[in-house]
Amino acid sequence: MDKNTRALLLEHYRNYPKLGAEDVFKYLYQSSFGCEHLISNEERVLGYIKREYESLTVQLSMTDKLDGTYTRIHLSALKSGLTPETLARLFFLSAKKESDGESALESKLSAARELIKEGLLPLDLNDFDKKLSDWSESGYPAIHHSDVFRSEYRPAYRVIADRYAEFLALFTETDKLLSGGSAIVALEGGSASGKSTLAEILCEVYDCNVFHADDFFLRPEQRTPERFAEIGGNLDRERFYDEIIVPLTKNETVTYRPFDCGSQTLDDPITVLPKKLTIVEGVYSTHPAFSRYYDLAVFLDIAPEYQKKRILARNSPRFAERFFNEWIPLENRYFEGTDIKKRSDLIISINT
């Protein structure tokens, strides 16, 4: 029996002690299927969220982790600065059909039934079985909360995929910045911490530009012992400053030449028009030479064991050794020498 299912169900009961069988069904349904239906109209979703938020009377904790790859985001999160538009976008992006949802649901329901039999989940077993039988015969349709749950807790939330929910704090801070104008957000962190993936996620949620520190590797003629002796010296800071930082701070068009690792030369120029949100991602992106130009500096703090696991999964053993023996030691020296984590505005722990 899945220990994670048991633990999450017991935590859910502790948070909502007046839940009924229907509320357990709904929790496990959403754990298995995510959003209860495919969403075709994002504007309609936004309208519903705004109307619900206006009538919000109870502020629950901002999130409830479901037993799967989804999380409930309560509308009370909007009081912290997250905008209805962003929440609607996250909900819309999270909608998909889970092909194995029914088998996952039935397994989780078995775990719930065992908890009731053991007396750990204090629901009436006969009532649970009767309602479960009726629900099963109907084909497990989307289900409402019990009347008692709705009366006691006034639930108002949206189900969001974990790939978005884990960055809720970043979305909130970004929304607060954008409410006052344009913003430049920097994503820093070690190899395999997910900086590029997070930048892609931000592009899904916002209309933004992304610039990569990897496009500013040193050219061969710049790779001197003196340069590598500098903390963070293996980034072409001068070109990064001239081609990216200067025009960004003036809200001007950016024209830059990314470094091509294959030819070890600079590629053809790329021209990027300004947008309200700009993302700069990569190791060395929040070097002290640049940090004062950012509105938000984010550090993705990956545990060494997960970093190693990710690198081995993505690279050949020979190439992975270059990470472990060359690049990661340089990164760590840079992180320690510049006290990056302490200077960051937001630290996100990466534990998978």
Residue pair 42/158 in contact by the 8 Å Cβ criterion: no
Q: Which residues face 300 on adjacent strands? A: 189, 348
Do 332 and 212 fall into the same domain?
A: yes
Last residue of a domain, one of 121, 144, 165: 165
Task: Tell me how far CA of residue 58 lies from CA of 74, 75, 82, 158, in angstroms.
Answer: 10, 10, 17, 15
- For 184, the enclosing helix (H) or strand (E) is strand 183-189
pTM: 0.94
User: Could you read off the pLDDT of 156-213 as tens digits, one per residue?
Assistant: 999 999 999 999 999 999 999 999 999 999 999 999 999 999 999 999 999 999 999 9
Return the structure tokens found at 64: 């409830």
DSSP secondary structure code for residue 325 in this structure: I
**Do 70 and 34 meet the contact criterion of CB atoms below 8 Å apart?**
yes
Average pLDDT over residues 256-270: 96
Show which of 165, 181, 200 is a domain's final residue: 165
Specify the CATH number for the domain of residue 280.
3.40.50.300
The Cβ of residue 275 has, within 10 Å, a number of other Cβ atoms equal to: 14
In this prediction, residues 90-109 reach a mean pLDDT of 90
Same domain as 175, residue 142: no
| pLDDT tens digits, one per residue of 305-346 | 999 999 999 999 999 999 999 999 999 999 999 999 999 999
Give me the domain span that covers residue 55. 3-165
Q: Which of 133, 142, 138 is nearest to 113 (CA)?
A: 133
Indicate if the pLDDT at residue 16 is higher than 80: yes
My answer on whether 151 and 177 are in the same domain is: no
Dihedral sign for Cα atoms in the order 315, 317, 322, 327: positive
User: Which amino acid appears at position 332 of this protein?
Assistant: N
Question: Do 111 and 6 touch, CB atoms closer than 8 A?
Answer: yes
Lowest-confidence region among 92-101, 104-113, 200-209, 307-316 = 92-101
Rounded distance between C-alpha atoms, residue 279 and residue 175, angstroms: 14
Contact 283, 213 (CB under 8 A): yes
pLDDT of res. 230: 92
| Helix pair angle (21-33, 101-117), 10° resolution | 150
